[in-house]
Structure 1
Amino acid sequence: MRTGSEPITARSPLRMRFWLGVWGLTWTGAGTIAFALAERLGWALVCGVLFLVVAVDLVVVLRHIRQGPHFQPGRDVPPYEPPDNG
């Protein structure tokens, strides 16, 4: 059931974003090194920029995880306001 308050009470899968970010950081770092060693500087630069984007995203995700329930409510907090049955 939609209540209209979804943007306020929406949840973000921060742990999943964290692990996908770690995966992306690993691959972009490896890509940067591999392309630099193969002397493909354009591709190395692209991978390096993506590495920085993923690193910034990981910092933001970790900050939100550490801020606690304000950004990531626990399982006992409903994702929406219960409907009025009156």
Structure 2
Amino acid sequence: MRTGSEPVTARSALRMRFWLSVWGLIWAIFGTVAFALAGRPGWAAACGLLWVIVTVDMTMILRHIKQGPHYQPGRDVPPYEPVDDRSPYRPPERRRPSRPSHP
């Protein structure tokens, strides 16, 4: 069900996220190799961990791209469910907060 606040033509930026992940993957690989060759095992491990995270993220992005577009309701779908006056459930009425009396 639509909430009524989303744009009708909204699309996900998965391809942009994919290319940003490629960019991050290149830098993570470069950082891992460069720090390993420079004798900085801590920084190489940090870049290696980033490499793993970017790879997992890229895998998820590719999976979502491969799934294709999902159902998006069209213009004929109303943004809210119609109110049924015969419904036994009624939301509680809001009460105004009482003002403190000043002496």
Q: TM-score scaled to structure 2, two decimals?
A: 0.61
Deviations 1:18-48 (A, max 9, x none): 0000000000000000000000000000000
Q: Quote the Cα distance in structure 2 between the aligned partners of 1:82 and 1:13.
A: 26
Q: Which stretches of structure 1, 4 residues or more, deviate above 2 A after TM superposition?
A: 81-84
Residue 64 (structure 1) aligned with residue 47 (structure 2):
no
Structure 1 runs not aligned, ≥5 long: none
Query: Deviation of residue 70 (structure 1)?
Result: 1.5
Residue 18 (structure 1) aligned with residue 18 (structure 2):
yes
Q: Quote the Cα distance in structure 1 between the aligned partners of 2:23 and 2:51.
A: 11
Q: TM-score scaled to structure 1, two decimals?
A: 0.72
Structural RMSD (CA): 2.8
Structure 2 runs not aligned, ≥5 long: 81-103
Letter in 2 for 1:19: W
Q: Quote the Cα distance in structure 2 between the aligned partners of 1:61 and 1:21.
A: 9
Larger radius of gyration: 2
